[in-house]
A and B are shown apart, each in its own frame.
Chain A
Amino acid sequence: MNCSRKLVKELLIKKRQGILAVEPTPIESIPLSPLVTNFERWSDKRRKLYFEDDKTMLDEGLQDFKLENNVFASMLASPMRCERLTRQRVPKDLLIQLKLQKLPDVQGAKHSLKLVPTALHQKGNKSSYLLNSGKIIKKNAKLSPSWIPIPALLSGMRYFKVSDVFIDRDNFLEEYSKETQEYLESELNKVKNYETVLRNWSIVVAYDEGNTNSIELLSMGALEILKLNLGCLGCASPLRQIVEFKSNHDLGLVLELPRDEKIVKLLYRLLACFSSSR
């Protein structure tokens, strides 16, 4: 009896030892699901090419374009806004901003608000945008009630009708031109005597009445200079004196981005609006 029990016990122990000898499979050796290994295919996140640092990017031949010094890149990168005549979305730096201005309270007055173009684009408040062409604005002056900012019309905070808004159609462009030139005058007066070394993509403001091109790209050796010619606006422009007085180079007044970004964009808008040649 003892012998048989011993045999049975030995057998059981051996069997158990045999079971124990098979170790559990480690998690790492289990083949991973393609849902995990190819997670990028179905993650549904915005895809981007990954570069560890600047050096890797430059090594791959992706140069720094230095776009912050380029006026056209800056204008084309500005936020998109709906243009009121065409209903197309356009970078807002290529458009004229319109705002509602409160008129002084006078008893019996027909209008309480006035739609005015702003020289410098202002943030906040309700505004609308109009294309930057004197000829087309003049031609479409009849449509001016449709230029009123829609968010202002729909606002629940302040109720007004379209007829409450005064739009000076006859002097609309003159007002815009005057305001822009006044703002430019004050800004150009602030320009100090900076060093006059021309750099690549420097902007030169000149008053050259003999030249019909308002905007020109000049190649000077390795440098490219953008020339804005205010002569196209006519000799009556009050900017003439300031540009000639502040001139700090043979070519004219040298400006640079990003320092003089506001002035350069305003000058571009003024030329695009009132001069017909490029």
Chain B
Amino acid sequence: MRWRTISTANAVINSEYTLIKNRAKYFPSKSVQDDHSLHESTMLRIFYRRFMRLRPFVSNRRMVRDTYTDYLRYKFKVENYELKRSIIFSEPPLVSFREELWNSLAFIIKAVSYLPETKQKKWGLARDNTMCRQVFKNLLTLEFEKQSKILRKGQGKDNPYADYRLEFNHIRNPDASPAFKVFGEYDICLLYLNRMLRTRL
């Protein structure tokens, strides 16, 4: 079957992708980026909306999209990132909270973007985007596994929600159990990556 490329006002559709041309609503406006007097809660809401708008780009599967939504809700509403960071790093963050948010949004946008790869540019920005996508995809898989683990809580005294989501005991003491090691090792690497990229994934 021969596929045609269909062009509409908002998108270009080929046999593999729907490429959305209008990108404005996924980025914070210039005035928001420049306005440093903006209250933190307002800024958080602005970024939260932008992250949520990227939901259709994450995957065609509902399960993956829901994992992304749950992950965002947890990151914005529950997670104490300062506590998580302080387990590995004693120094304060290197950049402002706003910059970390912007870098995280940039990371996700790069992960869901399409940049035509040419022979000359094969290892340039397009390769960087591919790596962002691979890291992001693995991150969602691990989040799904972690959430499943929390929901499978047995009858014992252990409280996986507190361990993995609130107190981060899996990062403090990864050798305590096999599950702690698996999730802890991953989260430690992610904390190092966040530190190097100035993100908050």
Contact = CB atoms under 8 A, between A and B. Distances in A.
Contact of B57 (A39, A47, A51, A80): A47
A142 interface: no
Contacts of A85: 178
Interface string A57-97: 11011111111101011111110100101101111001000
Contacts of B89: 217
A48 interface: yes
Interface in B72-100: 88-89, 91, 94
Nearest to A40: B11
A110 to B, nearest CB: 29
Interface in B7-35: 8-21, 23, 26-27, 33
B11 A39 contact: yes
A39 B8 contact: yes
B170 to A, nearest CB: 12
B179 A94 contact: no
Contacts of A278: 88, 188
B189 A76 contact: yes
Given A45-B18, A61-B27, A51 B114 contact: yes
A140 B181 CA distance: 13
Interface string A172-216: 000000000000000000000000000001000000000000010
B108 to A, nearest CB: 10
Specify which of A51, A78, A83, A132 lies most central, judged by the most chain B CB atoms within 10 Å of its CB.
A51
Contacts of A78: 138
Please report whether the interface of chain A is mostly helix, strand, loop or mixed according to DSSP: mixed
Interface in B165-201: 174-175, 177-179, 181-183, 185-186, 188-190, 192-193, 195-197
A135 interface: yes
Nearest to B193: A72
A224 interface: yes
Interface in B123-147: 123-128, 131-132, 134-135, 138-139, 141-142, 145
- What class of interface size applies to chain A in its complex with B? 35 or more
A133 interface: yes
A50 B128 contact: no
A47 B189 contact: no
A72 B138 CA distance: 13
A76 B8 contact: no
11 contacts: A40-B8, A50-B114, A57-B110, A62-B110, A64-B128, A72-B190, A88-B145, A133-B175, A136-B178, A136-B181, A140-B178
Interface of B: 6, 8-21, 23, 26-27, 33, 56-57, 59-60, 88-89, 91, 94, 102, 106-107, 109-110, 112-116, 121, 123-128, 131-132, 134-135, 138-139, 141-142, 145, 149, 174-175, 177-179, 181-183, 185-186, 188-190, 192-193, 195-197
